[in-house]
């Protein structure tokens, strides 16, 4: 959001989670060494994939080889690329682009330049040709998005209109605009494709939308200033991060009701991005200004460990084989690579300016 994007680098010290083991702090690693294949000790075990990173300030996309961790390409996209998702077949990348001006926390937004609405849209990027195919218009100030189960539709949070916009990928047409509350951000589609969840930061709630006819099925309250949403692979649960009260909320996705809430402890912890392991046993949360990734046991819903990453991790993604975790660290302009088994950072990759989102797609 405009009020929080340009916050400074904050380093977090001490134990970050209540009742969990001590934090693992990996040794510092120069970027030029971290990017070399030798710095990743499990290169041979990682399935082929590409790491795609949106850089909000430099307006481009960084693509890394997931096995060697080498930078493959840096490609201009447009203004403020943020949310990023891949198509089910791994051929296309969808990126939210916004012409709204960046602003540091606390600034009087009346002093900012007017937004460039011509820059708003969803970039459709072909990963094979390495080309931006087109920009789908019809959505204002998009921040995050989700892809429908068959890849034919996009569900986009339109930040300044308080709506979720449904776009047809093939035609670019807007199929629906659903009122979801103030400053929507997180978007996720259930594994069976039947519903989309959209978080509203101002209203501290999640709106449940039926994908068949775009009806609002339910709204329920979660933590303060909800940021991101992730479903468990079996679709029975969903998880929502709450930035302002340092919470992660568990939702029974069969009845769309909150079941449990856990609170992450530690200085400056602000839960942002969230992903769930393929076996559904662990929930990983980027803690923003806390500078860590927290691991939560899905069975007990108790935090079980943290690992320190770069400055203010926002976007988070798992490799297709689940062996690695990636975080986009805005103020430090880099990507942390975490070995999931050891739960420690094994590499740090220099990215563009203010990396925001990250996706890992099989090749």
pLDDT for residue 103: 76
Q: Which of 22-31, 40-49, 67-76, 199-208 has the lowest mean pLDDT?
A: 22-31
User: Quick check: helix, strand or coil at residue 241?
Assistant: strand
Q: What is the mean pLDDT of residues 78-98?
A: 98
Lookup: tokens for 240 = 């929502």
CA distance 296 to 30: 29
Q: What is the mean pLDDT of residues 78-85?
A: 98
> Dihedral of CA 16/32/320/313: which sign?
positive
User: Quick check: helix, strand or coil at residue 79?
Assistant: coil
Least Cα distance to 202 among 218, 185, 183 occurs for 183
**Going from the N-terminus, what domains does the chain have, and what CATH number goes with each?**
31-362 (2.130.10.10)
> Tell me: the pLDDT tens digits for 138-183?
999 999 999 999 999 999 999 999 999 999 999 999 999 999 999 9
Q: Which residues of 322-351 are buried (b: 16+ CB within 10 A; e: fewer)?
A: ebbbbbbbbbbbbbbbbbbeebebbbbbbb
> Tell me: the pLDDT tens digits for 199-240?
999 999 999 999 999 999 999 999 999 999 999 999 999 999
End-to-end Cα separation, the chain, in angstroms: 32
pLDDT for residue 105: 66
Q: CB-based contacts of 164: which residues, under 8 Å, 6+ apart?
A: 155, 156, 157, 158, 177, 178, 180, 184, 187, 196, 198, 207, 209
CA distance 155 to 153: 7
Residue 93: other Cβ atoms inside 10 A:
24
């Amino acid at each position: 959001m405009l009020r929080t994007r340009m916050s400074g680098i904050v380093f977090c010290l001490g134990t970050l989670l209540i009742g969990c083991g001590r934090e693992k702090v990996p040794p510092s690693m120069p970027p030029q060494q971290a990017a070399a294949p030798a710095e990743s000790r499990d290169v041979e075990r990682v399935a082929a994939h590409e790491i795609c990173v949106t850089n909000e300030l430099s307006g481009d996309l960084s693509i890394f080889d997931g096995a060697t961790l080498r930078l493959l390409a840096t490609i201009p996209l447009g203004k403020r690329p943020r949310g990023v998702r891949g198509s089910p077949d791994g051929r296309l990348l969808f990126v939210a682009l916004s012409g709204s001006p960046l602003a540091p926390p606390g600034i009087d937004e009346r002093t900012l330049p007017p937004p460039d609405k011509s820059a708003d849209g969803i970039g459709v990027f072909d990963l094979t040709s390495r080309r931006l195919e087109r920009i789908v218009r019809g959505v204002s100030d998009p921040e995050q998005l989700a892809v429908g189960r068959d890849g034919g539709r996009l569900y986009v949070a339109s930040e300044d209109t308080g709506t979720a916009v449904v776009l047809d990928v093939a035609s670019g047409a807007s199929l629906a605009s659903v009122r979801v509350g103030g400053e929507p951000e997180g978007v996720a589609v259930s594994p069976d494709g039947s519903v989309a969840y959209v978080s509203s930061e101002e209203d501290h709630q999640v709106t449940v939308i039926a994908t068949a006819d775009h009806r609002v099925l339910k709204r329920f309250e979660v933590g303060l200033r909800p940021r991101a949403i992730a479903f468990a692979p079996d679709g029975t649960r969903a998880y929502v991060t709450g930035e302002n009260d340092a919470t992660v909320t568990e939702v029974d996705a069969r009845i769309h009701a909150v079941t449990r809430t856990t609170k992450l402890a530690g200085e400056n912890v602000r839960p942002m991005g969230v992903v769930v392991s393929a076996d559904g046993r662990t929930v990983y949360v980027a803690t923003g200004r806390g500078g860590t990734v927290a691991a939560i046991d899905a069975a007990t819903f108790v935090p079980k460990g943290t690992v320190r990453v770069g400055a203010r991790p926002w976007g988070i993604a798992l490799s297709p084989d689940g062996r690695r975790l990636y975080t986009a660290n805005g103020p430090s302009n880099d990507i942390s690579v975490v070995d999931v088994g050891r739960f420690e950072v094994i590499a740090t990759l220099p990215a563009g300016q203010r990396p925001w989102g990250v996706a890992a797609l099989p090749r």
